[in-house]
Amino acid sequence: MTVFFKALLKSLFPQRCAYCGKVVSADEYACGDCRKILPRIEGEICSRCGRAKKECSCNGEKYFLSQAAPFCYEGVVRRGLHVFKFRNGRQNSEAYCYEMAETVRQRYADKKFDYIVPVPMTKKSVRRRGYNQVEILAEGLAELLGAEFRNDILFKIYETEKQHGISYILRKGNLTGVFDVPEPEKVRGKSVLLCDDISTSGETFNECAKMLWLADASEICCISLALTNPRKKNKSKK
Ligand SMILES: [Zn+2]
Ligand SMILES: [Zn+2]
């Protein structure tokens, strides 16, 4: 989006809290109430799964080096993301990109990513929704980090059942062969930051990372806006 277009949009629509929708001043991303209760992942953090150490869910080897996220998928973050995903709340993305960029700067301070790659959706899902919320996040993040946004490397070939609703065992098998890197030379020797909105078990990231690893990407890390707590029963309605 051009600077002019952004300014125009801002003058037409008031800035809203990205978590509850309340009108806030133009330089704010969240209202005072939400800021106080944002479910940030804090304290001692596991460098592998990105969760607080007491909620660590690390299980086995992964094709990526590390996962990170600013938030737990609960409370106002869950609410905001739901609007963003299902009710065209694209305005929220600026706040989310800002938060993810901060997390990348802290957690991956020693890394320089060549490419920011969104976890892909099938063309059919994008058509159904009218937009690709993960690409919106990845593109905004790439801009903030000064890295290249690449949606021409990794593709989702066919639809799977929603990851949220199914058990861990099913989830693993459910993803095999779903993603593809048709032109591996595009990513050979490159360091990649994979981006998604929510990560549940890390299996989607892992399957994407596997394809990038097979294509000889030099390093693969992951960022999402939120991580579910694997110890809690997932009560998501989706
Ligand atoms: Zn709010
Ligand atoms: Zn862990």
145-159: pLDDT as tens digits? 999 999 999 999 877
The predicted pLDDT at position 161 comes to 57
Task: Compute the average pLDDT of residues 72-82.
Answer: 95
135 within a domain of the structure (yes/no): yes
136 within a domain of the structure (yes/no): yes
110 within a domain of the structure (yes/no): yes
- How much distance in Å is there from the Cα of 23 to the middle of ligand 1? 8
1 within a domain of the structure (yes/no): no
Distance, CA of 73 to CA of 57 (rounded, Å) = 15
The predicted pLDDT at position 173 comes to 59
- Which is more confidently placed, 194 or 57? 194
The ligand with the least distance to the CA atom of 22 is: 1
114 within a domain of the structure (yes/no): yes
- How much distance in Å is there from the Cα of 77 to the middle of ligand 1? 10
Asked if pLDDT for residue 6 goes beyond 80, the answer is: no
Residue 40 belongs to domain with CATH number: 3.40.50.2020
153 within a domain of the structure (yes/no): yes
Distance, CA of 100 to CA of 126 (rounded, Å) = 23
List of residues 6+ apart from 111 with CB closer than 8 A = 191, 219, 221
- How much distance in Å is there from the Cα of 204 to the middle of ligand 2? 16
Model pLDDT for residues 157-204, shown as the tens digit of each residue: 877 655 555 555 555 556 777 899 999 999 999 999 999 999 998 999
Measured over the CA atoms of residue 97, residue 101, residue 104 and residue 107, the dihedral's sign is: negative
- How much distance in Å is there from the Cα of 111 to the middle of ligand 2? 20
Contact 103, 68 (CB under 8 A): yes
Alpha-helix residue ranges (DSSP H) falling in the chain = 3-12, 32-37, 75-86, 93-107, 123-129, 133-145, 168-175, 203-214
- How much distance in Å is there from the Cα of 216 to the middle of ligand 2? 25
The total number of structural domains that make up the chain: 1
Q: What is the mean pLDDT of the chain?
A: 88
236 within a domain of the structure (yes/no): no
186: Cα separation from own chain's centroid: 22
- How much distance in Å is there from the Cα of 200 to the middle of ligand 1? 24
- How much distance in Å is there from the Cα of 57 to the middle of ligand 2? 5
Task: Compute the average pLDDT of residues 221-235.
Answer: 80
Structural domain boundaries, residue 48 = 7-227
- Which is more confidently placed, 71 or 2? 71
237 within a domain of the structure (yes/no): no
The predicted pLDDT at position 234 comes to 46
Q: What is the pTM assigned to this prediction?
A: 0.87
The predicted pLDDT at position 175 comes to 72
Task: Compute the average pLDDT of residues 27-31.
Answer: 93
